[in-house]
């Protein structure tokens, strides 16, 4: 019998699958959705961008049971652009089992254009209006096109900085004027060099993304493609451009009758 402040874990998983439709896309991580099931009921949902040791330590320190962690990434963040995603140590999985904690994660399904997607959530946090998706990847359209009342790339950078709470990087490769106040977003580590032809065809000259520091092979190629098409880049770090989606998910879980709380992490400033 369920108490007033808890829901069935299976019910929660089914609602998330209905919302994000993970079957329509592939992913770079081996598992989509449920990572660990240790409790049949959920009393609270914590959300986070990455499944980092700091996030789990934060939850464990609260000494709670029958809770769930929902993340955008099923792994810890990269410590540098030259590294791969880290692996969460086994002891965290062991402690999840001991504490009856479930762990659920959607990566590419959460990048797909939608009400709780990473791009739409960032756009709304900036006070802008997302109006369409724009780039096919992993079987779905990711990123979003946005309308704003902004006139220049400098104004856009300041709006992004106000939203994320720290300095952002502007690489001015084209005109500083935003055509009709429009710009594109693709959060996180957007590696595609073909995206810049898409932006040109769409009449967009400014691209907000997470990782922009031209220090590794894929970011250097991004800058080459941006320069060739005269596309301005504005970088806000992987974490900071994607954190608004798990933050928004707290509202979703509250609508399902559950207490929900976002656990913040630190951005890697060397990414911009």
How far, in Å, CA of 122 to CA of 18, rounded?
22
Are 124 and 148 in contact by the 8 Å Cβ rule? The answer is no
How far, in Å, CA of 190 to CA of 62, rounded?
35
Residue 131: its H or E element: strand 129-132
Reading the chain (272 residues) residue by residue, the pLDDT tens digits are 465 689 999 999 999 999 999 999 999 999 999 999 999 999 999 999 999 999 999 999 999 999 999 999 999 998 889 888 889 999 999 999 999 999 999 999 999 999 999 999 999 999 999 999 999 999 999 999 999 999 999 999 999 999 999 999 999 999 999 999 999 999 999 999 999 999 999 999 999 999 999 999 999 999 999 999 999 999 999 999 999 999 999 999 999 999 999 999 999 999 99
Residue 137: its H or E element: strand 135-137
Domains within the chain, CATH numbers bracketed: 7-107+242-271 (3.40.1390.30), 111-241 (3.40.1390.30)
Are 65 and 38 in contact by the 8 Å Cβ rule? The answer is no
SS3 content of the chain, % helix, strand, coil (to 5): 35, 20, 40
Please count the other Cβ atoms lying within 10 Å of the Cβ belonging to residue 190.
Answer: 28
């Amino acid at each position: 019998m369920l108490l007033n402040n808890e829901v069935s874990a299976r019910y929660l998983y089914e609602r998330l699958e209905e919302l994000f439709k993970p079957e329509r896309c592939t992913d770079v991580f081996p598992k989509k959705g449920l990572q660990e099931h240790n409790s049949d009921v959920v009393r609270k949902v914590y959300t986070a961008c990455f499944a980092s040791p700091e996030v789990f330590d934060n939850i464990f320190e609260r000494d709670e049971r029958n809770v769930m962690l929902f993340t955008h990434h099923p792994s810890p963040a990269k410590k540098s652009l030259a590294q791969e995603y880290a692996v969460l140590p086994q002891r965290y999985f062991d402690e999840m089992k001991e504490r009856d904690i479930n762990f659920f994660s959607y990566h590419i399904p959460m990048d797909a254009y939608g009400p709780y997607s990473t791009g739409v959530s960032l756009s709304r946090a900036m006070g802008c209006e997302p109006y369409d998706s724009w780039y096919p990847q992993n079987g779905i359209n990711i990123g979003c096109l946005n309308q704003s009342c902004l006139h220049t790339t400098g104004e856009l950078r300041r709006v992004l900085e106000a939203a994320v709470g720290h300095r952002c990087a502007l690489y001015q490769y084209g005109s500083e004027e935003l055509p009709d106040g429009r710009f594109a977003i693709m959060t996180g580590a957007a590696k595609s060099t073909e995206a810049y032809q898409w932006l040109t065809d769409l009449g967009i000259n400014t691209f907000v993304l997470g990782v922009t520091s031209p220090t590794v092979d894929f970011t250097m190629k991004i800058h080459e493609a941006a320069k060739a098409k005269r596309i301005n880049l504005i970088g806000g770090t992987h974490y900071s451009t994607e954190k608004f989606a798990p933050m928004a998910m707290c509202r979703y879980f509250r609508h399902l009758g559950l207490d929900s709380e976002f656990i913040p992490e630190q951005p890697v400033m060397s990414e911009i």
